[in-house]
Amino acid sequence: MRTLRILFGLLFMLAFAPSLTAQNDGDRLIGVWEPSHGKARVKIDKIGNKYYGRIVWLKEPNDPETGKPKLDKNNPDESLRSTPLRGYRILKDFVYSDEGQWTEGTIYDPENGSTYSCIIKMKDDNTLDIRGYIGVQTFGRTDVWKRLALKPRS
Amino acid sequence: MRLHSLVLVSLIALLAACQAPSDQISFSLENQEFVMMGPLFSGANMAQIEVAPEVQSFLETKGYQTLTGARLTAVSLHIADTLTFDLCEEMSLQAVGDATEMQQIAVLNPVPQGQTDVSLQPAAEAELLPYFQEGTFFLVLDANLAGDLATDLAIGADLTFELSASK
């Protein structure tokens, strides 16, 4: 009976180990990242099974015209233009798809109020290629983001 | 070309005529609670709740069969008597489902000081039908905090939706 239990336990582990590993691999994206322009820092978190990134720091937090904190003044929905950029969720709905890639997400550009399809590739533990595109990946632009608190290389 | 346009317009009019008319019904989600787990640090913080509104049974009790649209019309937030919203600089509310993308549905900036009850401004263009069709979805409350807080921050919420439904 005991042997049977151990056997079932092992089978259970074998069956679910790959999905658990995939989940943990996906969580490598969680952390604070800095785009190449260095004007902002984005914290990536997980909600449900998807990943989201919020602006947590701005080099110039205030709008030079108003002297007040920058707002999402280009939001296509006028009723939401009072939303502050600090705390704004610009990366949305990313799903870990395997091999260091997160897909199905979008990236929002507050400079023009546009949302683009986006794919994230992890080059190494501390470097991301973030590619925003319209329609097909060919028509897009890639930016390199660096992890803020660098992890020691393994 | 003109004939094509005429046929197209006629078809659209016919389809519109065939569609059952929708009525607007108010639906509330009350006594929800967002908890930001402490310790909390100044800057961007969030709390999420999972909701499973029983919309279909609600509509059936009102004599409706099909949900055709949903909009958020009011969000009121309240905080424990011992605290005010002074710590929160701005707040926004998002909806997200497993199969439905995240969408911002309300905002409040700035948060009025000295208050224990505040109302968020609902997004004018946010269509929430896909979330209700999913059945279960998440509401995510984002808040920029002005300072640190050693404890949890619990915020109660009452939400009101305008549902469009047909018989």
B4 domain residue, yes or no:
no
- Chain B positions in Cβ-Cβ contact with residue A47 (cut-off 8 Å): 48, 96, 102, 138, 140
* pLDDT for the residue B75: 98
* pLDDT for the residue B38: 87
- Give yes or no for A32 touching B (CB within 8 A): no
B7 domain residue, yes or no:
no
Contact A148, A41 (CB under 8 A): yes
Residue A115 C-alpha, separation from nearest chain B C-alpha, in angstroms: 12
A14 domain residue, yes or no:
no
How many structural domains are present in chain B?
Answer: 1
> What is the ipTM metric for this complex?
0.72
For A23-70, the pLDDT digits (tens) are: 678 999 999 999 999 999 999 999 888 999 999 999 999 999 999 999
B162 domain residue, yes or no:
yes
B63 domain residue, yes or no:
yes
CA dihedral over B100, B101, B106, B108, signed as positive or negative: positive
Phi, then psi, of A99 in degrees rounded to 5: 50, 45
Q: How far apart are CA B127 and CA A77, in angstroms?
A: 12
* Distances in whole angstroms, Cα of residue B117 to Cα of each of A34, A56, A120, B80, B143: 36, 26, 40, 9, 15
Nearest CA in chain A to B106: A80
A7 domain residue, yes or no:
no
The mean pLDDT value for B54-65 works out to 93
A66: which 2 tokens?
């108003």
Q: How far apart are CA B20 and CA B166, in angstroms?
A: 6
A135 domain residue, yes or no:
yes
B46 domain residue, yes or no:
yes
- Nearest beta carbon to residue B107 from set A47, A76, A82: A82
CATH of the domain at B54: 2.60.120
- Chain B positions in Cβ-Cβ contact with residue A50 (cut-off 8 Å): 96, 102
Per-residue pLDDT at B17 exceeds 90: no
Q: How confident is the model at residue B10 (pLDDT cuts 50, 70, 90)?
A: low
Least confident of A49-53, A59-63, A146-150, B41-45: A146-150
B130 domain residue, yes or no:
yes
DSSP assignment of A114-139: EEEEEEEEEEETTEEEEEEESSSTTS
Collect all residues with Cβ–Cβ distance below 8 Å to B85 and sequence separation of at least 6: B77, B79, B111, B112, B113, B115, B116, B118
- Chain A positions in Cβ-Cβ contact with residue B44 (cut-off 8 Å): 43, 54-56, 86-87
Decide: helix, strand or coil at residue A109: strand
* pLDDT for the residue A88: 94
A110 domain residue, yes or no:
yes
- Given an 8 Å threshold on Cβ–Cβ distance, is A83 in contact with B46? no
- Give yes or no for A77 touching B (CB within 8 A): yes
Q: Please state the length of chain B.
A: 167
Domain span at residue B156? Answer: 22-166
Domain span at residue A50? Answer: 31-147
Per-residue pLDDT at A152 exceeds 80: no
**Between chain A and chain B, how many beta carbons pairs sit less than 8 Å apart?**
70
The mean pLDDT value for B138-156 works out to 94
- Give yes or no for A118 touching B (CB within 8 A): no
Single-letter residue type at A69: P
Q: How confident is the model at residue B18 (pLDDT cuts 50, 70, 90)?
A: low
A117 domain residue, yes or no:
yes
CATH of the domain at A92: 2.40.128.520
- Given an 8 Å threshold on Cβ–Cβ distance, is A79 in contact with B138? no
* pLDDT for the residue A13: 53
A3 domain residue, yes or no:
no
CA dihedral over B163, B20, B125, B142, signed as positive or negative: positive
DSSP state for residue A50 in the 8-state scheme: E
Buried b / exposed e along A22-39 (16+ C-beta atoms within 10 A): eeeebeebebbbbbeeee
How many structural domains are present in chain A?
Answer: 1
- Give yes or no for A46 touching B (CB within 8 A): no
